[in-house]
Amino acid sequence: MVTSRLTPDEVKALFSKLSNWGRWGKEDERGALNFINDKKRAAAGKLIQTGEVVSLALPLATTPGPDNPTPVTHLMTQVGHDAHEQQLLPYSGDYFAIAPHGLATTHIDALCHVFWEGKMYNGFDASEVGSHGAKKCAIDVTRDGVVSRGVLLDIPKIRKVEWLEPGDRIFPEDLDAAEKDHKVTVEEGDVLLIRTGRSTRRKVKGGWDPFREGMPGLDASCLPWLHERRVAVLGSDAVSDVVPSGYHGLALPVHVGTLVAMGIHLIDNADFDAVSATCAKLGRSEFLFSMAPLILERGTASPVNPLAIF
């Protein structure tokens, strides 16, 4: 297996070097979302050409599995059989309970989700996340959606495999190679989606416990690349980070570098099968990306169903 590229100390130094703290003011809670503005969205709108749309989400994970130890609870408040007993109108209804940070749940991490040396993005203290939720950097900074140009970099495609194996590592040169292969350039304000093929492997082989078997993903040396391109949001069909990280004492350095240092929101556990097939079919790797997290005030995450509109 290819090994990591930096030393742990070099990675930690990146957290300072690539920091966006203060870039948008000392009270800012939106981070790299600030790279997206009306002009960016208007330009992204022009990427809608054929009108095809695909989802980038897994179904809510109601079944237990190796990567789903605490499944989503889904229960009926009213089934059809005795619906006629309802006074108002015969109806059916349901209920679900979810902890969105699950490994089988497509979700967006808020900037308050991860801490480094007791702080979240922009230096707010970890204690800002109390018993009743996050007072800073909660997920509802995304309440008006995340709409921008989306770009898919398909790493299994350029490596000519169906999927990367657990523990396989992605480096900056892979990102460059994907851009070259797909004839696309990642720009400021983009939502960058980096495919590992994990969602494909998962459908074929079943889910697995990433902390026992590993997960494909980015080596921490990709952090400067993300910073230079001024990516607004980073999405993965896995968890962005390669597992194991390869850096002693740093289990998820990409999580720290994005969420904490650069204020880049993360989308975890997406399903990139349909979007990668559509990109291949149309010969395009850019599209309108449209995602609207639930407005969970003070939340640390939301389950999401992001769309790619071509």
Place of tokens 């800073």: 136
Looking at the Cβ atoms of 34 and 55, the one nearer to a copy of itself is 55
9 vs 297, which CB is nearer to a copy of itself?
297
Q: By C-alpha distance, which of 225, 241, 235, 259 is closest to 168?
A: 241
Q: Which is nearer to a copy of itself, 64 or 173 (CB)?
A: 64
**CA gap 215, 239 in Å, rounded:** 8
Query: What's the distance, CA 202 to chain centroid?
Result: 17
Cβ proximity to a copy of itself, 97 vs 161, nearer residue: 97
- The least distance separating a copy of itself from the CB of residue 155, rounded to whole angstroms, comes to 24
Measured from the CB atom, the residue of 22 and 93 that comes closer to a copy of itself is: 93
Q: How far is the CB of 87 from a copy of itself (least distance, A)?
A: 8
- Among candidate residues 1, 4, 29, 17, the one with its CA nearest the CA of residue 171: 4
Nearer to a copy of itself among residue 178 and residue 200 (C-beta): 200
Count other C-beta atoms under 10 Å from residue 151's C-beta.
Answer: 25
- Nearest distance, CB of residue 44 and a copy of itself, angstroms: 8
Are 152 and 310 contacting, i.e. CB atoms less than 8 angstroms apart?
A: no
Instruction: Give the shortest CB-244-to-a copy of itself separation in angstroms.
Output: 11
| CB nearer to a copy of itself: pick between 112 and 194 | 112
The amino acid at 264: I
CB of 165 to a copy of itself, least distance (A): 21
Q: How far is the CB of 253 from a copy of itself (least distance, A)?
A: 9
Residue (74 or 180) nearer to a copy of itself, CB: 74
User: How many other C-beta atoms are found inside a 10 Å radius of the C-beta of residue 115?
Assistant: 17
Give yes or no for a contact between 220 and 6, defined as CB atoms under 8 angstroms apart: yes
Strand 217-218 versus strand 169-170 pairing type = parallel
Please list, residue by residue across 40-58, b when 16 or more beta carbons sit within 10 angstroms of its beta carbon and e when fewer do.
bbeebeebeeeeeebebbb
Euclidean distance between CA atoms 264 and 287, whole angstroms: 20
To a copy of itself, the closest distance from the beta carbon of 12 in angstroms equals 13
d(CA 31, CA 33): 5
Shortest spacing between CB 180 and a copy of itself, in angstroms: 28
3-state secondary structure of 198: helix
